[in-house]
Amino acid sequence: MSQLNALLLTRDPRSTARLLAPLQHWGVMAEVESEPDYAIASLLRRHYDGFIADFTSVAGVREAISAIRSATACKSTPILALVDDSINVQSVLEGGANSALSVASSPARSRPYLRIALLLMTREHLRYFRYPVDTPAAITYAGGPTLEARTLNISNEGLSLRLAHPMRITRTVRARFQLPAPNPTVVVATGHTAWLDAEGRLGLRFLYMPEPSRNRFQQYMAEMHSRAGSHLTRHCS
């Protein structure tokens, strides 16, 4: 299971030092940025499980959070605001932050707030994490043959496959694949081809699952998330 990753926007070395130690202890890889524009570009370019914004040392943080929240890819990114007594916490929360932490708080008082941020980051991480899977699969599409395949990985939102015989598919398809349970469970889903390569690998973004398949799939993913979440938060105490 990969570790959590977060982006810290600050110009205060003290804030950096105070936060990096507990984050690293909990298995969070944190990158530090000092310019709002660069932070926005980083968040739009790649997925982070969390964003920590220092309102006390960086001008333009409110505008940066507004820009981040307006981007579809970042609407659910957990945001922790670093504040002091001069900052209205309610306005920070209304502006898009999920929680706030005073830079004057002692390590003991900071810990519960960081734990909440960690749990939110874990939930965000699991939304995107892909679990390796190797089971039989097949896809069909209107006017075309049944194509045999093997699953590569799955997530809440999609599935990656390798076709037995590479071919170009750029349309909505119907996928049938097995979940690696003790008793193999078949799931059927309609999905849109999000990407493909010359080696016959392709990614499907789920559009629809019949209720029986959705129930089986959600149960399996819940079990996987529970195991992964326990692994990610093993130091959260």
Position 27 in a domain:
yes
Distance CA 150, CA 100 (A): 45
Report yes or no: 38 and 110 within 8 Å, Cβ to Cβ.
no
Q: Are residues 143 and 96 part of one domain? A: no
pLDDT reported for residue 232? 52
Q: Domain boundary at 128, 156, 186, which?
A: 128
Local mean pLDDT, 10-residue blocks, the chain (237 residues): 83 89 85 94 88 94 93 87 94 93 87 85 78 91 88 90 86 90 84 88 92 90 72 51
Task: Report how many domains make up the chain.
Answer: 2
Distance CA 22, CA 17 (A): 9
Q: Domain boundary at 113, 128, 143, which?
A: 128
Q: Are residues 116 and 135 part of one domain? A: no
Distance CA 63, CA 39 (A): 12
pLDDT reported for residue 1? 47
Position 141 in a domain:
yes
For every residue of 12-40, DSSP letters joined together read -HHHHHHHHHHHHHTTEEEEEE--HHHHH
Q: Are residues 14 and 87 part of one domain? A: yes
Torsion over CA of 29, 34, 40 and 44, rounded to 10 degrees? -30
pLDDT reported for residue 230? 58
For every residue of 100-149, DSSP letters joined together read EEETT--HHHHHHHHHHHHHHHHHHHHHH--EE---EEEEE-TTS--EEE
CATH of the domain at 157: 2.40.10.220
Q: Are residues 124 and 135 part of one domain? A: no
CATH of the domain at 59: 3.40.50.2300
What confidence tens digit (pLDDT) does each residue in 43-95 have?
988 888 899 999 999 999 999 999 999 988 788 899 999 999 999 999 999 99
Q: Are residues 112 and 161 part of one domain? A: no
Position 94 in a domain:
yes
Structure tokens at 197: 């390569």
Position 237 in a domain:
no
Q: What is the pTM of this model?
A: 0.65
Q: Are residues 139 and 102 part of one domain? A: no
Radius of gyration of the chain (CA): 21
User: Reduced to 3 states, what is the DSSP secondary structure of residue 232?
Assistant: helix
Q: Are residues 140 and 112 part of one domain? A: no
Q: Which domain holds residue 202?
A: 131-232
- Let me know if 228 is exposed, middle or buried by CB neighbors in 10 A (0-12, 13-18, 19+): middle
Q: Domain boundary at 128, 162, 186, which?
A: 128
